Chains A and B, each alone.
Chain A
Amino acid sequence: MRRSRFPVVVTALVMAFFYLPIFILVANSFNPARFSSRWQGFSLVWYRRLFESPEIWAALKNTLLIAVSVTAVSVVLGTAAAYALHRYGQSRLQRVHYTLIYQPLVVPEILMGISLLMAFVAAGVPLGLFTVFLAHVTFCVSFVAMTVLGRLQDFDFSIVEAARDLGASPWQSARKVLIPALMPGIVAGALLAFTLSIDDFVITFFVAGPGSTTLPLRIYSMIKYGAPPMINALSTLLLAVTFTAVVASQRLARAKR
């Protein structure tokens, strides 16, 4: 039976729609023209400007500081949460737990941002790097928990029972059997948390204070108030980082399946 060509055509158009803006952006980052309408030859001038900008370096430092600490905390919390959900899934406590974990995944970012801002204002917590850290962990935990939960669902718990039968303590069986088996899921969750933290704008915008400008906040103000083509260069670098992270996480997801 002959299949219709229509879906294939739509898919090709969708892919073009996805990548055309990105290609033009990358191309423009190498274009020395200030208003990137005409191609004026290959140049790295915007990259040089970017590396010479102290604000960018300060923002990058904040972003990485937050992303690394957020990833560390949310991986520990998220993995424990996934284990709890999987092992004790039937209890009433876990049903409430699941709803709590689920909420950051579905609530629009702006609502999370504003509700956290109000909580910090009401509690008198000064806004800054620390509040950004708290906010980021809050949404990253859920993504880590869901990623690890996916891995747990494929995991055969009789291996842990075998370890216990052979005399391993609960801690030993977790450290030597369970966690190594879950590692691809944990690393994938960590990559996801790291990317989400580096990329987050909306929530950060609400809970950041003076001196806690992150890279997305910096990019936003560059876009909003007089955009020099430096953003093209910065975006291209970010794309390269994301692309590497995606390839790495795909390899991990496929590993040992």
Chain B
Amino acid sequence: MDDGRRKSEKSRFDPLRKAPFRLDPIFRRKAEWLVTLPTFLWLTLFVAVPTLLVFVIAFRPANPYGGIGAGWTLDNVRALATPATLAIAWRTLWISLLTTAISLLLSIPAGYTIARASERWRNRLLMLVIVPFWTSFLVRVFAWRSLLHPEGPVKRVLEALGLVGPDATLLYNPAAVVLVMVYTFLPFTILPIYAAAEKFDFRLTEAARDLGARPFQAFRKVFLPGIRRGLLTAVLVVLIPSLGSYIIPDLVGGPGGEMLGNKIAQRVFTDRNLPLAAALSAVLVLAVLAPLAGVLVLQRKSKKADIIMGEAP
């Protein structure tokens, strides 16, 4: 404290002191590197290099000890073209697309309602969306596992209503995977749609109504294009993690609901074959890059791209 004050007093009377922030370019450059280098190195070492490594290891043979052998091979890539792998890839794709579609269908009315609510209700509703957003992912999946359990409440209600027979199984099928994925990703899609709807000027839809548009027309032709950026963000935040899902199909999907993520984990933990796992992961990387690149291009067209955190509160 004292030391600092003395120094600043001294510098106040120093006529040779350089003007603040008009630093010479070399100093500026040095300062930039100083604050950039730590994360830059860390993320290069633990994100960029490992991602590239996946593509390298996909072309290496496995060794019998669960490690990576010497030399190069195309066997892992060839193993991808089997009907079983293709079937899993196809299922991963449709489950993810269906999850995205259902999440959007539910999030658009919810985001709209929150944006149009009075300030008091808006804060309450936002809080209600944010709490599940922060809640342990495993806990939420587990809650559904016990709900859908053969002895669980959902089954009993459906049976009492005569909708399912006594031997119907609600767990361990692709439908259960979609249900739980929608449940987990819904907060992530509501938030960006709400953020876009909140900035939307609702006088535009009113004008459309005044000019004779029916409510649904005004919604589809004025409101939806107006929140386009929020919709794109919502698609990304649900589609990408869906494609990489692992816990949900593992806990509620059963063998009929397995996805690419499960296959990757099986190669790692059951077969202990890292190169095969790497080949599957490489496919997943490419599958994730496609929608990401698409949305980034679309977003660049409309202003700068701030995808996840830019719009979440």
Q: B-contacting residues of A (Cβ < 8 Å)? A: 1, 3-4, 6-8, 10-11, 14-15, 17-19, 21-22, 24-25, 28, 35-37, 77-78, 80-81, 83-84, 87-88, 91, 93-94, 96-97, 100-112, 114-119, 121-122, 134-135, 137-138, 141-143, 145-147, 149-150, 161, 164-170, 172, 195, 199, 201-202, 205-206, 216, 219-220, 223-224, 227, 231-232, 235, 238-239, 242-243, 245-246, 250, 253
Stretch in B82-90, B167-175, B278-286 with 4+ CB within 8 Å of A? B278-286
Check B80 for interface membership: any CB of A closer than 8 A.
no
> How far is B67's CA from A117's CA once the two chains are assembled, in angstroms?
11
Q: A108-B244, A121-B68 are in contact. Are A239 and B8 (CB under 8 A)?
A: no
A242 touches B39 (CB 8 A): no
> How far is B171's CA from A238's CA once the two chains are assembled, in angstroms?
25
Chain A residues near B160 (CB-CB < 8 A): none
Identify 8 residue pairs between A and B in the complex whose beta-carbon atoms are under 8 Å apart, listed by A's number: A8-B113, A17-B183, A93-B36, A112-B47, A118-B68, A138-B47, A164-B21, A235-B142
A239 touches B7 (CB 8 A): no
- Residue from A17, A114, A201 in contact with B54 in the complex, judged by beta carbons closer than 8 Å: A114
Highest count of chain B CB atoms <10 Å: which of A14, A28, A80: A14
Number of interface residues of B (CB under 8 A): 96
- Mask for B99-131, Cβ within 8 A of A = 1, else 0? 000000010011011101000000001011111
Check B151 for interface membership: any CB of A closer than 8 A.
yes
Chain A residues near B77 (CB-CB < 8 A): none
Question: What residue in chain B is nearest A120 (Cβ atoms)?
Answer: B50
Check B264 for interface membership: any CB of A closer than 8 A.
yes
Least Cβ distance of A164 to chain B in Å?
A: 3
> How far is B145's CA from A224's CA once the two chains are assembled, in angstroms?
10
Question: What residue in chain B is nearest A195 (Cβ atoms)?
Answer: B134
Chain B residues near A25 (CB-CB < 8 A): 139, 142-143, 146
Q: A-contacting residues of B (Cβ < 8 Å)? A: 4, 7-9, 11-12, 17, 20-21, 31-33, 35-36, 38-40, 42-44, 46-51, 53-54, 57, 67-68, 106, 109-110, 112-114, 116, 125, 127-132, 134-147, 151-153, 156, 183, 186-187, 190, 206, 209, 215, 236, 240-241, 243-247, 251, 261, 264-265, 268, 274, 277-278, 281, 284-285, 288, 292, 307-310, 313
> How far is B192's CA from A179's CA once the two chains are assembled, in angstroms?
29
Chain B residues near A121 (CB-CB < 8 A): 67-68, 274
- Residue from B47, B110, B135 in contact with A239 in the complex, judged by beta carbons closer than 8 Å: B135
The 8 closest A-B pairs by CB, nearest first: A108-B244, A164-B20, A146-B309, A115-B50, A7-B109, A10-B109, A21-B143, A119-B50
- Residue from B35, B42, B47, B125 in contact with A103 in the complex, judged by beta carbons closer than 8 Å: B47
Chain A residues near B114 (CB-CB < 8 A): 11
Q: A18-B186, A115-B54, A246-B134 are in contact. Are A84 and B12 (CB under 8 A)?
A: no
Besides the known contacts A108-B244, A147-B309, A239-B136, 19 further A-B residue pairs in the complex with CB atoms under 8 A apart: A11-B114, A14-B186, A21-B140, A21-B144, A24-B143, A80-B36, A96-B40, A100-B47, A106-B240, A110-B281, A111-B281, A115-B51, A115-B53, A115-B281, A118-B57, A138-B42, A216-B138, A223-B251, A242-B135
